[in-house]
Amino acid sequence: MLNVEKIREMNIFSRRIQMEVVKMIAGLGIGHLGGSLSVTDLLSVLYCNQMKYDPKNPQWEDRDWFILSKGHAGPALYSTLALKGFMPVEELATLNRPHTKLPSHVDRTKTPGVDMTCGSLGQGASAAAGIALGFQMDGKDNYVYVAFGDGEINEGQVWEMALFAGHRKLSHLIGFVDYNKLQLDGPTDEICKLGDVAKKFEEFGWYAQSVDGHDVAAIDEAIERAKAQSEKPSMIVLNTVKGNGWSRSANQVGSHSRGLNEEELKEALAEMQAAIDSY
Amino acid sequence: MYKLAEKPYDDPVEMRKVFCDTLMELAEKNKDIIVLDADLMGAMGTKPFLQKFPEQTVDCGIQEANMVGVAAGLSAVGKVPFVHTFAPFITRRACDQVFVSGAYAKLNVKLVGSDPGITAALNGGTHMPFEDMGIMRGIPEMTVLEPTDTVMLADIIRQISGVYGMHYMRLVRKQSVRIYEDGSTFEIGRAVTLREGKDVTIIASGYCVAEALKAAEELSVRGIGARVLNMFTWKPLDTEAVVKAARETGAIVTAENHNVINGLGSAVAEALVKNSPVPVEMVGVQDQFGEVGPVDYLAERFELKAENIVAAVEKVRMRK
């Protein structure tokens, strides 16, 4: 069980990631805001409590791997990595500028701590399964975490992988769907209805759970349950709010890709700081 | 070093047998060699590999996109995956996975597409890739190969297993015409000169290599000396050999079991216009879809035979 202090640490860290995200995107003028903000509670749990990693040695052989299949949420991952010491926080200001190590979509060849190149949706699925399969072949116990967007699981490749990983019993593969109910063109229910996502993965041979994706303790406990079983890959559906953390972006279709002006940035940071103060 | 067989002959040993045997030889010494397939191990003759190395075999089922992505992931943790399915499926259907998860991510996947061009024979147009090499050639840093016979195939598999990076190899599954003596070795990126000549150069690959040699025989009877190059590496192209041929023979005919658009003819022409332009004729598929039929019929139908090469040589010489 998590103690209250750990929960507080993870909540605060999530807001700190969000603050860096809004600063990065405001600095550039445009970016994938909504899907970055909805996934920070997951990133906080992974990087504060679950994953094995070494910022001084990003290629550490015994580390756990994190694949951000929804590669457009790069800003959230970059902020996480910078705050955990993989790179200086000042580097975040280079997002999407020429010669940056921080491109819009995550790139394993450019950013320390980024384990796979993703951006063409659905592809992180198979790469994650391949990495987990490689570890299974070698009898290693590294965990492989992979995060999908909800719109992303429209892609057939995700379901090819789901069948494959279920069949191969890749129990050290733990997936997440950031189910914020909004994709670029509108609500997921209106664009291409997903139905009961957890049940679908269960049918594909996965150990599937559905939790509040903004409850760090619930996410952490779900990961613990996933690790406690060794028969199946795990899928944890995170019920989230797109653009979470700032009242003007929360649950807004338009938050997928947008900028923030100076006033908006101040307001967003104030709201996030207020949240931190409240923990 | 390579040595030519005394005379080209129909190899009784199928390409797929050598493919499987060579991979088994490598797997014996290297547990990181992994064979992946999408439910075509029976067709590709790799079941013996599965039986001998079950832990190094991944039959994914019919899901090419996932298979290529899984292979990319495997290579990220140090495995050396050889991924096979029919050429159209690995190059067309899984193209974006090859591009992003493999090439753009700078990983190490050996892509093997079987039944190139007319050798898809009775599977017909849906399965008959005349564009696979062109698709792969357009992907940065991809090495693109067409092994000519069983001897070259074995040598190339051994070589690419030890070279980090993305490789695409198109591969006849069944019989090929044997050109080289046992034990021959080749340099990837270097054309093989099969025959010297001063009047024209025929640059051929795959199925068309044996046809080019037949054409050169016929041309010699007519008093025309044809140089024959086996351009088994389409990328990186041996520009030096192409330019040398242009300067020394003054005219070039390319011959390929592939669409001439975005094919070997295109690659050769690109090299020539930048360095030493000479007249070129291109024997190959003239922007058409495939269809069903035996290989011999299809070779006539798409005009890939020695007689078509001879006609192209006559034509190109008129333009000199």
Check CB contact under 8 Å for A164 and B60.
yes
pTM (global) more than 0.95: yes
What is the pLDDT, as a whole number, of residue A1? 73
What is the pLDDT, as a whole number, of residue A4? 96
Provide the CATH topology of domain B192-318. Rossmann fold (3.40.50)
**pLDDT more than 70, % of chain B:** 100
> ipTM of the predicted structure?
0.97
**pLDDT more than 90, % of chain B:** 100
Domain boundaries for CATH 3.40.50.970 within chain B: 13-179
Q: Which residues of chain A have pLDDT under 70?
A: none
Token pair for residue B187?
A: 């340099």
Amino acid at A40: T
Q: Strand, helix or coil at B92?
A: helix
Q: How does residue B62 score in pLDDT terms, banded at 50, 70 and 90? A: very high
**What residues of chain A, 40 to 79, have a C-beta less than 8 Å from chain B?**
none
Chosen for mutation from B39, B58, B67, B70 (greatest number of chain A CBs closer than 10 Å) is B70
Question: Which chain B residues are within 8 Å of A116, Cβ to Cβ?
Answer: 73, 76, 101, 105
Q: Residues B85-142: pLDDT tens digits? A: 999 999 999 999 999 999 999 999 999 999 999 999 999 999 999 999 999 999 999 9
What is the pLDDT, as a whole number, of residue A125? 98
Check CB contact under 8 Å for A129 and B72.
no
Check CB contact under 8 Å for B76 and A131.
yes
The arithmetic mean of pLDDT across residues B170-175, rounded, is 97
d(CA A155, CA A157): 5
Q: Is A156 on the interface with B (CB under 8 A)?
A: yes
Determine if the peptide bond prior to A112 is cis (ω within 30°).
no
Provide the CATH topology of domain B13-179. Rossmann fold (3.40.50)
What is the pLDDT, as a whole number, of residue B124? 97
Check CB contact under 8 Å for B70 and A127.
yes
What is the pLDDT, as a whole number, of residue B168? 99
Complete domains list, chain A, with CATH: 4-278 (3.40.50.970)
d(CA B53, CA A48): 40
Burial of B172 from C-beta contacts in 10 A (0-12 / 13-18 / 19+): buried
CA B83 to chain centre: 16
Domain boundaries for CATH 3.40.50.920 within chain B: 192-318
HEC-encoded secondary structure of chain A = CCCHHHHHHHHHHHHHHHHHHHHHHHHHCCECHHHHHCCHHHHHHHHHHHCCCCCCCCCCCCCCEEEECCHHHHHHHHHHHHHCCCCCHHHHHHCCCCCCCCCCCCCCCCCCCCCCCCCCCCHHHHHHHHHHHHHHHCCCCCCEEEEEECHHHHCHHHHHHHHHHHHHCCCCEEEEEEECCEECCEEHHHHCCCCCHHHHHHHCCCEEEEEECCCHHHHHHHHHHHHHCCCCCEEEEEECCCCCCCCCCCCCHHHCCECCCHHHHHHHHHHHHHHHHHC
d(CA A12, CA A28): 25
